[in-house]
Amino acid sequence: MSRTITIDHVTRIEGHAKIDIHLNDQGKVASTQFHVTQFRGFEKFVEGRPYYEMPAITARICGICPVSHLLASVKACDAIMAVQIPEPAQLLRELLHCAQFVQSHGLSFFHLSAPDLLLGFDSDPKLRNIVGLIEKHPEAARDGIALRKFGQQTIERLAGERIHPSWTVPGGVNKPLSAETRDEILAELPIARSIIRRTLKTFKAMLDDFPAESDAFGNMPSAYAGLVDFDGNLRIYDGILRFKDSEGKPMASVSRALDYSKFIGEAAMPDSYLKAPYFKPMGYPDGAYRVGPLGRLNVAEQCGTPEADVELAEYRQRLGRIVQSSFFYHYARLIEALYGVERMEQLLENPLILDRHVRAEAGVNALEGVGIIEAPRGTLIHHYKVDENGAMKWANLIVATGHNNLAINKSIQQVAERFVDGNQFQEGMVNRVSAVVRAYDPCLSCSTHALGQTPMQMRLYGPDGQMLDEVAT
């Protein structure tokens, strides 16, 4: 008789997903499928709308990192206006983006993944969440809340609102920064910095506690992609899109945003609303690559800020120049949070940041524009085509989690092979399969341009295709 447990949702991820696990005759894992189950149709329903509405509309793709969509969108709009925005506006947009990196990385680490890391993958599922963290590790929970608050409050100070602000506009930003606000943000930086330092220290001390997880959580070769500057420094607001292979050899550097489509193809999947981008010259599915914190740190030569570079050197000393296991997304994420805070300080200390020239005005001067940035979860691309009046004719959005789709699929397979055994789920193995998805910090709403709820379903199939077990987590 088949037994059924239902995992109605994979929890603590951002979006809707289901997982199927198929077993062979020996009761071992034969294959796995990752289904993303939400779809919203942004690319279609924006047709006919004025291009300058795009930032406000596409921000509603994702409430976790709306600033990423706002920025990719205004950059595509800058290209349609064919303007180079004033340097102070560029600095301010990057500052806003850094604040978002800090809050989003904080959320991923503390609110979503720390319950596994600090309370244990096999701990009581009723307590394995931020509330359990508040009880068992109140200092860590408070740090998480405070770090996220720092990022969100900085966004509010700069842009007027914490979620879906309208400060970033095609051509720049709509209000300069005051000296008081700059000083308020500067005054809070040291607190954020010390929270991240503490967390890095705790995380490094735990590194040896997860040998099986670091060995099997998507530990595989792949290519990597991310933005860098001419010297190979990590970049998050603007830069050259660089691809490296699994050994770290450069495969491509895309300096003109419009050229992205020569290098990135998109595959429709039979079983998921999430498409799978691939590196075009290598074809599908060989051209799988990873983005986000792990990919970025593999692609960059260094961060370019002092303390993050010291941490990066230690990270590479421990794990190698190219870090292959997706378990270390968490580690890379913390180093990037430190980079974000340091970079904010550099930007705030640049006298130009208070300059009042923050917006270029222009009409439609090009019929096509692309904006590329690094969202917290990885490379984000907005590509628009308009008519002479600026009405949208066509849009393509490639979001961070999409790039990781093939890698997430492979990682689920690897974790399932290691931890799933027999024809019934155990809670700890279900949680590990979910946790590998969590390591990527996927934003499935972004990826399908739909943010769903978090449910993830997992199903286990026997060799004859009969369902053996089902869980909802």
Partner 1 sequence: MSKAKVATVWLDGCSGCHMSVLDMDETLLEVVKRADIVYGPLVDAQEFPEGVDLTLVEGAVSNQDDLKLIQKIRGRTKLLVALGDCAVTGNVPSMRNGIPVKALLERGYVEGSDVNHRPPTDGVPALLRNALPVHEVVRVDLHIPGCPPKADAIAYVVMEVLAGRKPELTGKVKFG
Picked from ligand SF4, partner 1, none, the partner binding residue 131 (CB below 5 to 8 A depending on kind) is partner 1
Using CB atoms, what's the residue nearest to ligand SF4? 60
- Only segment of 1-9, 327-335, 346-354, 412-420 that touches partner 1 (CB under 8 A): 1-9
- Contact with partner 1 (CB under 8 A) among 83, 335, 451, 460: 451
- Contact with partner 1 (CB under 8 A) among 55, 66, 340, 371: 66
Q: How far is the CB of 252 from ligand SF4 (least distance, A)?
A: 35
Of 266, 244, 265, 264, the closest CA to residue 253 belongs to: 244
Please report whether residue 462 would count as binding ligand SF4 according to CB under 6 A: no
Q: Is 378 helix (H, G, I), strand (E, B) or coil?
A: strand
Please report whether residue 43 would count as binding partner 1 according to CB under 8 A: yes
Helix H or strand E segment including 106: helix 87-106
Q: Which residue type does 193 have?
A: R
- Contact with partner 1 (CB under 8 A) among 126, 180, 187, 231: 126
Q: How far is the CB of 165 from ligand SF4 (least distance, A)?
A: 12
Q: How far is the CB of 170 from partner 1 (least distance, A)?
A: 19
Q: Are 433 and 420 in contact (CB under 8 A)?
A: yes
**389: burial class by Cβ within 10 Å (0-12, 13-18, 19+)?**
exposed
Please report whether residue 377 would count as binding partner 1 according to CB under 8 A: no
Q: Is 212 helix (H, G, I), strand (E, B) or coil?
A: helix
Please report whether residue 52 would count as binding partner 1 according to CB under 8 A: no
| Phi, psi of 378, deg, nearest 5 | 135, -170
Q: How far is the CB of 411 from partner 1 (least distance, A)?
A: 18
Residue 33 CA to chain centroid, in angstroms?
21
What the block records as the tokens of 289 is 């690559």
Residue 262 CA to chain centroid, in angstroms?
23
CA–CA dist 432, 429 (Å, integer)? 5
Angle, to 10 degrees, between the axis of helix 179-206 and the axis of helix 329-349? 160
Of 63 and 462, which CB lies nearer to ligand SF4 in the complex structure? 63
The site for ligand SF4, by CB under 6 A, has a size of 2
Residues 244-283 that bind partner 1 (CB under 8 A): 265-273, 275, 278, 280
Picked from ligand SF4, partner 1, none, the partner binding residue 458 (CB below 5 to 8 A depending on kind) is none
- Only segment of 122-130, 173-181, 212-220, 302-310 that touches partner 1 (CB under 8 A): 122-130
Of 410, 337, 405, 433, the closest CA to residue 110 belongs to: 337
CA–CA dist 306, 452 (Å, integer)? 39
What the block records as the tokens of 136 is 């068992």
Please report whether residue 453 would count as binding ligand SF4 according to CB under 6 A: no
For residues 58 to 97, the per-residue mask of contacts with ligand SF4, x marking binding by CB under 6 A and - elsewhere, is: --x--x----------------------------------
CA–CA dist 342, 346 (Å, integer)? 6
Please report whether residue 168 would count as binding partner 1 according to CB under 8 A: no
- Only segment of 13-21, 23-31, 169-177, 192-200 that touches partner 1 (CB under 8 A): 13-21
Residues 307-326 that bind partner 1 (CB under 8 A): none
Picked from partner 1, ligand SF4, none, the partner binding residue 393 (CB below 5 to 8 A depending on kind) is none
The site for partner 1, by CB under 8 A, has a size of 72
Q: Which residue type does 85 have?
A: I
Of 328, 340, 404, 374, the closest CA to residue 226 belongs to: 374
The residue ranges that bind ligand SF4 (CB under 6 A) are: 60, 63
